[in-house]
Structure 1
Amino acid sequence: MAVKLLAAAAILGAAGTAALNVVDKRREDAAEAAYPPVGQIVMVGKIRIRAVVMGEGPDLVLIHGASGSIRDMTFDFAPELAKHYRVIVFDRPGMGYSDHTDPVYAGAWATTAESPAEQAVVLQAAAAQLGAEKPIVLGHSYGGAVALAWALERPNNIAALVDVSGVSNPWPDPLDWLYRVNGTSIGGALFPPLLTAFISDNYVRQVVDGIFAPQPPTPGYDDFIGAGLSLRRDAIRANARQVNTLLPHIRKMVPRYGEIHIPVEIIHGDADTIVPLAIHSIPLEHEIAGAHLVVLPGIGHMPHHVAMPAVIAAVDRAATRAGLR
């Protein structure tokens, strides 16, 4: 009897998994059809990096944050910057339509992920292929860590750095439980298919509201970014692993910030509860000689959308300090 029950359970489990795969594949295909790749592919060795290039002027690279893609930057921010700069926007490795830097980071059961340094080296090589040998580099949120790693790992290939609500210093609190679960081997294998299948549009809107808080999301942002791309199983796993493994890399980077000697502009809202100002940007200003911090009163985690003129002013200051304007 026990053997029959186990066999029946196995059959039901297999049937449930097959049904879940069908739902997941349908939702992923729909997301990719609604939000197909934009821009061009840049090959860095065997790694495909998705890039959008727009505008004329000094080269400026934009690096998005966690759970994001090119679309966060190209919604309104990059087009505005492109009036005065040659803007290059990347999907970070493993995110959007870019490959992982190494196949070892892919797959349902993996737990490791690209470090900020690995991502920076690949993105710098991609930028160079696009003719940007020494660009200004702007990173938002997780992308701030990648921008800092670029300055550390490729100091001769960066003119200035703009850190927007960036992750830069160790934090004391544990990550959200979703990151911790999805970052494990078993959780990363089993949980993302459920999220892909069952997360509702209403939940996505709530998450976007939380990211923008205390400001409301910029009208049209929800529809433009293609949240379904971030809800694909591989994207959920890649994002969780990158965030889940970030802290040890940050701890190794902090003692090296004194090596950075380019112009650095830091801009951060004092109402940011996702990447708190006091933990990250206030210390960073003192860790990099000559760094300049602007604090935005009452602004949350998305100043490049809700306080865009202030962020563009930071880019302009960086360009002027680097002798590009």
Structure 2
Amino acid sequence: MLTAIIVLAAAGLALALVSALATQIGAVLIQRAFPPRGRMIDVAGARLHVVELGPRDAAGPPVVMLHGASSNLCAMQPLGDRIAKTRRVILIDRPGHGWSTRERAEDSTPAIQGRMIVEALGKIGVSRAIVVAHSWAGALGLRIALDFPDRVAGLVLLAPVAYPWKGGAGRYNDVISTPLIGPLLAHTITLPLGYLVANSGARGVFAPQPMPDDFISDSATSLLLRPREFIANAHDLVTLKAAVVEQAPRYAEIRAPVIVISGDVDKTVTTGIHSRPLAATAPNAKLILLPGVGHMVQYAAPDLVASEIEAMAGKLVQPAATADKTVPANL
């Protein structure tokens, strides 16, 4: 019996070591396949990867694009490329994601990340911007507007998280954000398992729309499977609910114009919990509901999203009064 236990323990240790080695090799290969596209900006507690597009001297405020969870700036680049034809566009890997790093995985809240992003924007000469934010970053964009109102000319929120929801952020994220156990799993089994489920997971986020054929490679989704980013992403998700509980009572303070664009069948960030109440609370908000659309609204309706950003930018060059309204969109 003792011999059998020793053999099993040795086999388990050998498997863990092999998995850890495979993870390290895999992480190196992923980074070679998806190198950074922009420059690095050092801020307090982080080093942020920033990609700039479009003419720097374009009229009106620049457009800053922030990606959601389990993602990086590449997921926003197709939309950014459209806007960059006429506007200065700044894509940012959120702290801990893509090629951005952060000193502590626990620096996961919209308040902390918002401070880091505003500092980075200041270092590249952006004092005021239109913030376009998707999903998790919806809470981030809202927090920036609350904490730095003079820095936000307008908000365009795509399927945003804004309020607390029933349940948590998923058992696996809870485990990964746990000390000792989480890093052990992240450095052994997360990458090989992630390769098996990445495609199906992404398809689920796009549903009911089909996922673009090259989305996994074009969006550099595999970067998420690196241990340090997977751990950071888990912390972002498990701390988000408490963060929106704290900031949601302040949304009526937001004076910048807000456009909320959401799909009415979004099963990732439910419109009835987030977008509808937000549009009813923020004083200068407009809600656009996309019938039959899921979570990835910038891919399902890119022309509409781009036109709303352009319209907001145009009004900010020549300010005009904004009225609250809900617009059912016809695709």
Q: Output one character per residue of 1:108-149: Cα deviation in whole Å (capped at 9) or x when no partner.
A: xxxx34210110111111112122110101110001111111
Q: Distance in 2 between matches of 1:294 and 1:61?
A: 20
Q: What is the alpha-carbon distance in structure 2 between the residues aligned to residue 35 and residue 23 of structure 1?
A: 18
1:178 equivalenced with 2:177 (yes/no) = no
1:57-114 Cα offsets, whole Å, 9 max, x none, are 230100000010111112x2111110121000000001111111xx332xxxxxx342
Aligned partner of 2:80 in structure 1 is 78
Could you tell me whether the CA contact under 8 Å between 1:267 and 1:314 is conserved in 2?
Answer: no
Are 1:208 and 2:202 counterparts? yes
Q: Any gaps of 5 or more consecutive residues in structure 2?
A: 320-331
Which deviates more, 146-155 or 215-224? 215-224
RMSD (CA atoms) = 1.9
Mapped partners of 1:67, 1:18: distance in 2: 26
**Secondary structure, counterpart of 1:199 in structure 2:** helix
Give yes or no for the alignment of 1:161 onto 2:160: no
- Cα distance in 2 between the residues matched to 1:173 and 1:93: 25
Task: Identify which of 167, 171, 189 aligns with 1:194.
Answer: 189
Percent same amino acid among aligned pairs? 31
Q: Deviations over 1:133-191 (max 9, x none)?
A: 10101110001111111101111111111111010011113333322332333541233
Partner Cα distance (2:231, 2:48) in 1? 18
1:146 pairs with one of 132, 140, 144: 140
For residues 191 and 49 of structure 2, the distance between their equivalents in structure 1, rounded to whole angstroms, comes to 23
Q: Does 1:120 align with 2:123?
A: no
What is the letter of the counterpart of residue 26 of structure 1?
I
User: One-letter code of the match for 2:153?
Assistant: A
Match of 2:65 in 1: 62
- Take 1:8 and 1:309, find their aligned partners in 2: how far apart are those partners? 61
Does the CA-based 8 Å contact 1:264-1:318 persist in structure 2? no
Corresponding letter in the other structure for 1:65:
G
Residue 253 of structure 1 corresponds to 247
Corresponding letter in the other structure for 1:22? L
The residue matched to 2:37 in structure 1 has which SS? coil
Distance 2:318 2:50 in 1: 23
Q: Is the deviation greater in 312-321 or in 257-266?
A: 312-321
1:223 Cα deviation (Å)? 2.0
Correspondence for 2:279: 285
| Range 24-33 or range 222-231, more displaced | 222-231
Corresponding residue of 1:267: 261
Tell me whether 1:137 sits opposite 2:131 in the alignment.
yes
Which residue in 2 is equivalent to 1:108?
none
Letter in 2 for 1:104: R
> C-alpha separation between the residues in 2 aligned to 1:185 and 1:173?
22
Could you tell me whether the CA contact under 8 Å between 2:168 and 2:238 is conserved in 1? no
Q: Residues 249 and 16 (structure 1 numbering): CA distance in 2 closer, same or farther, change over 3 Å?
A: same
Change (3 A) 1:254 1:17: same
Residue in structure 1 matched with residue 303 of structure 2 by the alignment = 309
Stretches of structure 1 lacking an aligned partner (at least 5 in a row): 106-111
Instruction: Report if aligned partners of 1:141, 1:166 keep a CA contact under 8 Å in 2.
Output: yes
Aligned mates of 1:250, 1:45 — CA distance in 2? 23
For 2:104, give the aligned amino acid.
V
State the Cα distance separating 1:210 from its structure 2 match.
Answer: 0.6
Normalised TM-score (structure 1): 0.91
The alpha-carbon deviation at position 22 of structure 1 amounts to 0.9
Aligned to 1:88: 90
Match of residue 23 from structure 2: 24
CA contact (8 A) 1:218 1:306 kept: no
Q: Judging changes above 3 Å, is the alpha-carbon distance between structure 1 residues 124 and 24 closer, same or farther for their aligned structure 2 residues?
A: same
